[in-house]
Chain A
Amino acid sequence: MIEVTGLKKKFKLTKDHKKNKLEKVDPREDKDYFHSVRDVSFQCAKGEVLGLLGPNGAGKTTTLRMISTALKPDEGTIYIAGEDIVKKPLFGRKSIGFLSGSTGLYGRLTVKENIEYFAKLHGMNKAAIKTRCDELFDLLDMHSFIDKRAENLSTGMKQKANIARAVVHQPAVVVLDEPTTGLDIMTTQTVIEFIKGLKAQGTPVIFSTHHLDEVALLCDRVAVINEGISCFDGTVEEFKQAGNSEELNQAFMNILTEKHNV
Chain B
Amino acid sequence: MFEVYKKELKELLRDKKTLMFVVALPVLIFPIIFAVMAFISSQAALEADQKVNTYVIINGEYAQEFTDKVFYHKSFELYKGSKAFNTIEDLKAGVTAGDIDMGIYLPSNAVKTLDGGEQSKWQVVFNDAKSINFLFKRVKELAQEYSDVLQADKLKSFGIEESTHKSILNPIEVVKVDTADKRENLGEKIGGFLPYLLIPLVLMGATYPAIDLGAGEKERGTLETLLLTPITRTELVLGKFITLLTTSIASTTITVVSMGGWVAVALAFADLEFIKTAFSTLAVTDLLMIFVLLLPLAAIFSSLALAISIYARTFKEAQNYMAPLSMGVFFPIIISIMPNMELTAKTAFIPVTNVALAIKDIIKGTVDYTFVGLIFLATALIAGALLAFCVKWFNREDVLFR
Contacts and interface: CB of A to CB of B under 8 A. Distances in A.
Interface of A: 11-12, 65, 68-72, 90, 93-94, 96, 98, 100, 102-109, 113, 117-118, 120-123, 165-166
Contacts of B220: 104-107
B228 A96 contact: yes
B229 A70 contact: no
Contacts of A100: 224
B339 interface: no
B289 interface: no
Contacts of B15: 108
28 contacts: A11-B398, A68-B228, A69-B228, A70-B401, A72-B397, A90-B230, A90-B232, A98-B228, A100-B224, A103-B221, A103-B224, A104-B220, A104-B221, A104-B225, A105-B220, A105-B222, A106-B7, A106-B222, A108-B11, A108-B14, A109-B7, A109-B14, A113-B7, A113-B10, A117-B7, A118-B229, A121-B3, A165-B225
A106 B11 contact: yes
Contacts of A90: 230, 232
A11 B4 CA distance: 30
Contacts of A107: 220
Given A90-B230, A121-B231, A109 B10 contact: yes
A113 B3 CA distance: 12
B232 to A, nearest CB: 8
Contacts of A118: 225, 229
Contact of A109 (B11, B226, B401): B11
A90 B398 CA distance: 20
Nearest to A95: B230
B341 interface: no
Contacts of B227: 70
A125 B397 CA distance: 31
A93 B14 contact: no
A73 to B, nearest CB: 11
A94 B225 contact: no
Given A12-B398, A69-B228, A121-B3, 12 more contacts: A11-B398, A65-B401, A70-B224, A103-B222, A106-B222, A108-B11, A108-B15, A109-B14, A117-B7, A118-B225, A120-B3, A121-B226
Contacts of B401: 65, 70-71
Looking at A65, A102, A108, A113, which has the most chain B CB atoms within 10 Å of its CB? A108
A104 B14 contact: no
Contacts, number: 65
Interface string B1-42: 001100100110011000000000000000000000000000
Interface residues of B, number: 22
A121 B398 contact: no
Given A100-B224, A103-B225, A108-B11, A93 B3 contact: no
A102 B7 contact: no
Nearest to B230: A93
Interface string B217-252: 000111011111111100000000000000000000
Contacts of A123: 230
B228 A70 contact: yes
Nearest to A101: B221
A121 B229 contact: yes
Nearest to A165: B225
Nearest to B218: A104
Contacts of B226: 121
Given A71-B397, A93-B230, A117 B3 contact: yes
Contacts of A98: 224-225, 228
B144 to A, nearest CB: 68
Nearest 3 CB-CB pairings of A with B: A104-B221, A121-B229, A104-B220
Nearest to B10: A109
B236 to A, nearest CB: 9
B323 to A, nearest CB: 22
A40 to B, nearest CB: 18
A100 B225 CA distance: 9
Interface string B74-87: 00000000000000
B47 to A, nearest CB: 49
A12 B397 CA distance: 11
A105 B225 CA distance: 9
Nearest to A12: B398
B192 to A, nearest CB: 41
Contacts of A165: 225
Contact of A121 (B10, B221, B230): B230
A152 to B, nearest CB: 12
Contacts of B228: 68-70, 93, 96, 98
Contacts of B3: 117, 120-121
Nearest to A72: B397
Contacts of B225: 98, 103-104, 118, 165-166
Looking at A103, A106, A122, A123, which has the most chain B CB atoms within 10 Å of its CB? A106
